[in-house]
Amino acid sequence: ISHTWFLSIIQNEFRTGKIDLDSTMKLLEKLHIPFDFAHVKHVFKKTIDKRKVPVINIEDFRAIYRTIVHRHEFQEIFRVYSSNGRFLADTELIEFLKKEQYETEACETTALEIILKYEPIEEVRKIRQMSFEGFIRYMNSEDCSVFKNSHRTVYQDMNHPLCDYFISSSHNTYLISDQLIGPSDSWGYIRALLKGCRCLEIDCWDGSNNEPVVYHGHTLTSKISFRSVIQVIDKYAFVASDYPVVLSLENHCSCKQQEVMAKCLENILGHKLLNSTVGGTEVTQLPSPEALKFKVLIKNKKVGTTEEGTLSTCLESHDETEEMSDFANTSDEDETDEKTPLYPKSSSSKRKSDHKPSSSPRKKAKMKKIKIAIALSNLVIYTKSEKFVSFEHSLANQKCYENNSIGEVRARKFVKHSAKEFVSHTSRFITRIYPKGTRANSSNYNPQEFWNVGCQMVALNFQTPGVQMELQNGKFLDNGGCGYILKPEFLRNRNSTFTPHTVGRYSNPMSLSIMLISGHQLPPSNLSKTNKADPLVQIEIYGVPEDQAKQKSSVIKSNALSPRWDETFTFTIQVPELALIRFCVKDEISLVANEFVGQYTLPLLSLSKG
């Protein structure tokens, strides 16, 4: 039956006798199997090696198809469950699902659904069986992904207060390259929002013609209009997720241009903009992501309290900041001092006085007046930026809707020396971590160490690929990729004594066993002319310090098409709730160097058995 089905699909293409590489690719697409062009080209070339003309006949095509599609590891497992070696009866498929895929609930209906969805041969479908062709298509499908199907949609309770969630957050979202001379572009906002990012950063400065602009102040990065940024956010805010978007404003504008910003936000975002409290006016706890669906929140300084409601005159808020001793010195103190002015402005700069080098080598504190337009202040409801003083100060004075931003260097010291107080702080208040100002090339820090203490907004440079962004993308695959992940109970409970360094009674040990079977159609090495690679796989665990681990497979020589390992790795994980697992494929190019081939990261608890 399989042979007849195969011929019925392909014979038409061989009416003239033979086909070329291009037609081979088109025909493979028609068979609904994922192919990598480099591998097909390589196998095709090997087939025509001794011939003068670059074409193949019907038998050649069948051989190419089998080489790429009929994987030995699939044939082995298929034969274990198929009594005749040709088809799986529905009962045999159920046995496979229960024993191999750990689908304990699998029944006749499950088997039938899979057969109807993946079996390409009609005659086999009709008798409720599955051919090897159907089995291959099932094994290559999303249904057999290592990522749990149930975690592909929102499954967590979304009715907790905002501070109970990890929130996907971006730093300097407008930059698409480095922090010094690269372009600013609204594409940065589109890309972040389409990835499910829920906290975006906007650096606002006075522009010409009373139009505020967005760029990295005191640098040569290009400028884009604030208005165009809000228009893009309005269009893309809720494409990937229904849950609230927070606009973190780093506001350097005059009162006049802040009023323009407020008008922009109101006119462009309209009903999406949250401009009053949800429910009563008294705020005793933050509302939930569910209660704020399809809303945009403004994170900025605010005059007075949320309870006082809207004020109608322009007031001045005093804020104590630290004067910089030189231009290369960053203050990890506060959002307004977040950026290092790496290029001092010329003497005509209006802000020159803010960065006057101090006469003494030590930083001096001074009172800096920050003018806040009431129109903008009134738009700040649940995300009021508050300068971080100390954990004790916050506990005594901070309101639930006041948030802190802490630079990575200072935050890292807290993780090391005051982890328990840090966890207590993040159980009450939204805390945003941002990269240090010296990361001029837009590099990132490891976000895991700050998730470990419950920081909600761990802001990264989304434009910079690497392990750090791979951890970010992997973590936020969870909960339907909606950008909000419910923190484990021990990071929400205000009486928790959890710290990442001494897990103690919060340990929930899990034994993890991974069998690395094979790879398929791996990208060949950049250095190889023969489509070969020497692949190895590194399995990495990220989590609390005790759980950090790496294990490596052996190297399979000269095989990018179908490397086979059959190696087992075991890990014991103390805090699975915080752990991520990363599979990284490398090509061994010499005894001392490996080339990155690809990776996949996901939360440990989103890992499917089977």
Residue 216 appears among annotated catalytic residues? yes
- 473 neighbors 601 (Cβ within 8 angstroms): yes
Two tokens, residue 153: 């949609």
Q: 494: Cβ–Cβ under 8 A, 6 or more apart, which residues?
A: 424, 427, 428
Tell me the torsion sign for CA atoms 238, 241, 244, 245: negative
Helix axes 21-30, 37-47, angle to 10 degrees: 130
- 469 neighbors 207 (Cβ within 8 angstroms): no
469 to each of 349, 437, 473, 474, 588, how far by Cα in Å? Answer: 36, 18, 6, 8, 24
Which residues is 200 bridged to in the sheet? 247
Number of H helices, E strands in the chain: 19, 21
> Coil, strand or helix: which one is 420?
helix
Give ∠ CA 135-140-146 in degrees, rounded to 5.
Answer: 120
- 224 neighbors 173 (Cβ within 8 angstroms): no
Q: How many CB atoms lie within 10 A of CB 355?
A: 19
* CA atoms of 165 and 175, how far apart (whole Å): 26
Main-chain phi, psi angles of 420, to 5 degrees: -65, -45
- 131 neighbors 12 (Cβ within 8 angstroms): no
* Distance from the first to the final alpha carbon of the chain: 30
562 to each of 150, 224, 286, how far by Cα in Å? Answer: 30, 48, 52
Alpha helices of 31-172 — where are they, by DSSP H?
37-47, 58-69, 72-81, 90-99, 108-118, 122-126, 132-139
Marked catalytic residue, from 160, 171, 425, 520: 171
* CA atoms of 479 and 497, how far apart (whole Å): 27
Residue 3 appears among annotated catalytic residues? no
* CA atoms of 44 and 32, how far apart (whole Å): 19
Two tokens, residue 239: 């494409």
Nearest to 537 by CA among 513, 554, 520, 517: 554
DSSP code of 350?
Answer: T
- 562 neighbors 76 (Cβ within 8 angstroms): no
Q: How many CB atoms lie within 10 A of CB 529?
A: 7
> Coil, strand or helix: which one is 564?
strand
- 321 neighbors 269 (Cβ within 8 angstroms): no
Alpha helices of 406-461 — where are they, by DSSP H?
408-417, 419-426, 448-451
Which residues is 402 bridged to in the sheet? 384
Marked catalytic residue, from 216, 218, 425, 520: 216
Question: Among all residues, which ones are annotated catalytic?
Answer: 171, 216
